A and B are shown apart, each in its own frame.
Chain A
């Protein structure tokens, strides 16, 4: 009995010595954290032209404005415009030569007022009107009292959707139009996301991340892998990248975590997505992270954080 107690005690003592011995010698075993943030996808909300119009009208009614009625010609023009936007992101007609006004006139809709609303690659579960009201031009269009009719085009894809709404008032004399809506698109990049992440870290009361060249190498390689794949890889490529013979020294030097995001229209939305998922909030509130690097393009983002 006493012998057994002594054995257990000896074992515990040995484990303690090994543990603290490692720590004292500075032998940290690298920790690789795998974090993915995909867009919120618990509920795939179905969106139709009718539903979008109803939502716009709800908003207008709350603001004491008149409701819009569906118009077939505007609907045709909206479909044509959405196709142009999805293929070329050409909101001003600079690439294709097809402006919003051209599209409306081509279907024979005579207008005195015209305005539009657009989103591309927008997650179905997100709040559409809340997003449009954050865009000054879109908010003005939503709240324009002279508008009477609407034509809406919706394209659903995977977890995202693209919507284009043409709002008009019939009339022979063109009195006014609102500025064409430029859908939030993939024009934001790594520096934008870097600033957004660090701003949020400061708001959380932790240090902003400092850039490290070697971490940028990993971020760049990983983003290329994801761009090649066309979707997030659930970190499948992260560990093999760290274990590459020529890059192994980086993971031996730092404890590295990877955070992925995809599908968001702005860096702020991407940060919000990270913040709203438990494992990923660490990127924004984790005081242990000292260094980092972020690369982003085509709505994919890779954040590498390390200490």
Chain B
């Protein structure tokens, strides 16, 4: 049988217990931290989505208010009533509302949808009667929509408002403000989670208007119904082919929206697990959608936790070195006692052993000295 010294027994025992407890603690901490951090990341995802929708809501509210102001301007009303007037002055009135240079055009449309006056001269004479925003405004509502311009072929956010006659008895036209998309999209490019993610804006049918992955713009989250496709192609994106991702669950969240949510689902297209947060932008027909691969989120968490676990192991190593040194110091007098008692056992004439430890060992040595001197 292997004979171990007291030092070895104590050291091995302490080492075993410490390593076992350390590993157990580190493993449990790792699992718990991973679970909590994953949950936290999901909450951050959701909060970011809500924050972004709040900021975008502010801009859209602003756009809607500007079109309302245009429609209420006395010169605009007079011009739409009389179909004549000082157009230079009226264009100044329209341009005066572009104080942050957020809008690419303002225009006045008659009840048939023809543009009578515009800060972008290329719009004049064109008919926008097929646009949703026009049809909403001629019925007395405030229209908001996003689409690709038939003339400019560029994306824009459109805000429309009915122009009432001076006696407010009837609608005589529609004032439209077209907002530069970059005004809105720039807000999505600021926040970063520390792992690959993709922030998107979709419309109420789930068609992507902006994506940090540009190849996804004008795709839908999931296949559209024939009716949805008709609306998108005829009134918003003008015959553009709209292909579909395989985000059926997210599409369902958008179409049957209740509250901001974060969901996990398996993406058949990319063959991976995804985390997706969705939030509606105020009362506008737009949604903020943020997605990330589950594995990427977990890898990010693992990257954060691994140094902590390594630190635990390094601490254990240092701890054992310190324990070894302390054990050596505390157990060193035992070696002296052992050789002294061995000499006494051989009936050698012994001198008294001097030991000043101030503890039980000193008491033992005192007792041995008394026995030896009898």
Contact = CB atoms under 8 A, between A and B. Distances in A.
A198 B337 CA distance: 94
B61 A221 contact: yes
A220 B92 contact: no
B9 interface: no
Contacts of B93: 187, 189, 297
A89 B77 CA distance: 12
B54 A246 contact: yes
A297 B72 contact: yes
A247 interface: yes
Nearest to A250: B58
A216 B69 contact: no
A217 interface: yes
Given A194-B99, A213-B59, A246-B54, A94 B86 contact: yes
Given A94-B84, A227-B69, A216 B100 contact: yes
A214 to B, nearest CB: 5
A19 B59 CA distance: 36
Contacts of A94: 84-86
Contacts of B54: 246, 249
A297 B97 CA distance: 9
Given A88-B78, A246-B61, A220 B69 contact: yes
Contacts of A304: none
Contacts of A227: 69, 72
Contacts of A88: 78, 82
Interface residues of A, number: 31
Contact of A224 (B57, B58, B68): B68
Interface string B69-93: 1001111001000101110010011
Contacts of B57: 246
B43 interface: no
Contacts of A295: 69, 97, 99
A207 interface: no
A96 to B, nearest CB: 9
Contacts of B78: 88-89, 95
Interface in B261-314: 282
B97 A190 contact: yes
A106 B89 CA distance: 29
B74 A224 contact: no
A220 B54 CA distance: 17
Interface string A275-304: 000000000000000000111011000000
Given A94-B86, A95-B78, A211 B69 contact: no
The 5 A-B pairs of least Cβ separation, nearest first, read A189-B96, A220-B65, A217-B62, A227-B72, A224-B68
Interface of B: 54, 57-59, 61-62, 65-66, 68-69, 72-75, 78, 82, 84-86, 89, 92-93, 96-97, 99-100, 102, 282
Given A213-B59, A220-B68, 8 more contacts: A187-B75, A187-B89, A187-B93, A189-B93, A224-B72, A293-B99, A295-B69, A297-B72
27 contacts: A89-B74, A94-B85, A95-B78, A95-B84, A95-B85, A186-B74, A189-B97, A194-B99, A213-B100, A214-B58, A216-B99, A217-B61, A220-B62, A220-B68, A221-B61, A221-B65, A223-B65, A224-B72, A227-B69, A246-B282, A247-B58, A250-B58, A293-B99, A295-B69, A295-B97, A295-B99, A297-B73
